[in-house]
Structure 1
Amino acid sequence: MSKPADTRARIIAILQEIGARDVLDIGCGSGALAKSLARDGFQMTGIDPNAAAISEAVARVPGATFLTAGAENLPFAPATFDAVIFLNSLHHVPVPAMQTALQEALRVLRPDGEVIVVEPLAMGSFFEVMRPVEDETDTREAAQSAIDRLLAQAHATGPAPVIYERATPMADLEAFIDYLAAVDPARRALAETLRPELARRFAANVVTGPDGQALVQPLKIWRLRARRT
């Protein structure tokens, strides 16, 4: 069972392998990833369509650059970044714009740069407990399909994606509801109305490991490079 830090470790390993310095975080939210990577010396830029989240990110990571923008229309010149990251964010892009967003990410890459995409799969114990509050099956599958089309149409190349598991410590149902609400406060009221069903699903899906109780989410990570002609 992978530890929660495994995703960050995987991203850093890729960035170090390609010698990245300037990194764009698409769907940066309030700047959690940018803050983490900035501590490791990467020059971070983040974009998100949520202006309130961008305001939080600006305060949270003073040395980074943040802009309110959508993934399908990046306000950057070609060859601006060594790496572009979608961390659990591609499936939040409107479905018709997903492939455009990926092409935009490739456009702003420097030669030999990479687009790193991390997407949760529509399976796993975490997903099954969350499902009554927000069932992302269709959007998660659409995100994978957009990547598949990008590769099939020869816009990008890259190795086969890697699937791994992230175990999120979860002491009890209250901790799970708090976790959901931290991502989107509107989820709390809905979760409260669904409490009996969530309690049933939590009891049926939670696993116990050496570090206590956890919910497991399978993730897939891609490394994409622009196909040069």
Structure 2
Amino acid sequence: MNADDAAADQLPLIDQEDRLMASLVPLAGCRLVEVGCGPARLLRQLLQQVDGLECAALEVDRVQLARNRSEPVCPGLHFIEASAAAMPLPDGWADGVLMLKSLHHVPLDELDTALDEVARVLRPGGWFYVSEPIYAGALNALIRLFNDEGVVRAAAQAALDRALARGRFTAVSEHRFAQAVAYPDFDSFEQRMMRPSFADHRLTPELIAAVRQRFEPHCGPQGARFVRPMHVRLLRRR
């Protein structure tokens, strides 16, 4: 285990990120935008807990978007097909924007444009909550066998730094923690992590076998359990 992995194992465990967010920003009566919403689990949780929310959930993956729209209607939650670099929302529409493990999926040549779009759709003084995985830990070591995100995760952080330097935002706070992640078996891990609808990891039988070999030592009677180290940056639009 290297120093980064050891440090990741020492982070405080936070299973419910909605609680962290609620402790950092006002939510009641807000208009929220989630960029790259995936299944929008956190927005669904917030809508059950917080009064008066209106949420725009943006997703570019049409497979995931179709799944979202096929589920029972959640009042206050609106799914929109849109990329981070072109949000079909009026200037200053949102009180808060969140990106959960999605900023590093924005194409590198669109990162600055995407962050300018975040600033545009936020009202003055609105907040921007960015939660990104830290490039460390046992789960990361496993995933990078088929999807090494070292470059794109670093690029996402550098883009945030540039947006701050350009005066688009001011920094409010940073938080590092770990999230528990569990898989009942390797087949579950393969489907969830190796075969996402939004990416082709060019899997081969040999690569799958190599990942399985590295996965199995983590398995116990209740499956494989990991912690994913996370880094939250909370910014505010000037």
TM-score of the two chains, using structure 1 as the length reference: 0.84
CA, structure 1 residues 191+178, in 2 after alignment: closer, same or farther (shift >3 Å)? farther
Q: CA deviation at 1:197?
A: 2.1
Equivalent in the alignment of 2:177: 164
Match for 1:74 among 87, 93, 97?
A: 87
The alignment covers a number of residue pairs equal to: 223
User: 2 CA distance for matches of 1:8 and 1:191?
Assistant: 37
1:1-229 matched pairs, under 5 angstroms = 5-15=15-25, 17=26, 19=28, 21-41=30-50, 42-60=53-71, 62=73, 63=75, 64-181=77-194, 183-184=196-197, 190=203, 192-203=205-216, 206=218, 213-227=224-238
Contact 1:117–1:222 (Cα < 8 Å) also in 2: yes
User: 1 CA distance for matches of 2:14 and 2:175?
Assistant: 16
Q: CA deviation at 1:134?
A: 0.9
SS at match of 1:146: helix
Please say which of residues 55-64 and 99-108 is displaced more in the overlay: 55-64
User: 2 CA distance for matches of 1:134 and 1:52?
Assistant: 20
SS at match of 1:70: coil
SS at match of 1:161: strand
What value does the CA root-mean-square deviation take over the aligned residues?
2.7
Name stretches of at least 5 consecutive residues in structure 2 with no aligned partner. 1-10
Please say which of residues 69-78 and 192-201 is displaced more in the overlay: 192-201
Percent of aligned positions with the same letter in both sequences? 26
User: 1 CA distance for matches of 2:14 and 2:194?
Assistant: 19
CA, structure 1 residues 18+8, in 2 after alignment: closer, same or farther (shift >3 Å)? closer
SS at match of 2:56: strand
Name stretches of at least 5 consecutive residues in structure 1 with no aligned partner. none
User: 2 CA distance for matches of 1:172 and 1:36?
Assistant: 27
User: 2 CA distance for matches of 1:184 and 1:193?
Assistant: 21
Q: CA deviation at 1:52?
A: 3.0
Note the alpha carbon deviations across 1:78-114, whole angstroms, 9 max, x for none: 1111111101111111111112211211211123320
Contact 2:180–2:225 (Cα < 8 Å) also in 1: yes
Contact 2:185–2:223 (Cα < 8 Å) also in 1: no
CA, structure 1 residues 188+173, in 2 after alignment: closer, same or farther (shift >3 Å)? farther
Note the alpha carbon deviations across 1:195-218, whole angstroms, 9 max, x for none: 3422343356x498xx87412221
Please say which of residues 211-220 and 87-96 is displaced more in the overlay: 211-220
Q: CA deviation at 1:151?
A: 1.3
Q: Whose RCO is larger (CA < 8 A, sep 6+)?
A: 2
User: 2 CA distance for matches of 1:54 and 1:190?
Assistant: 24
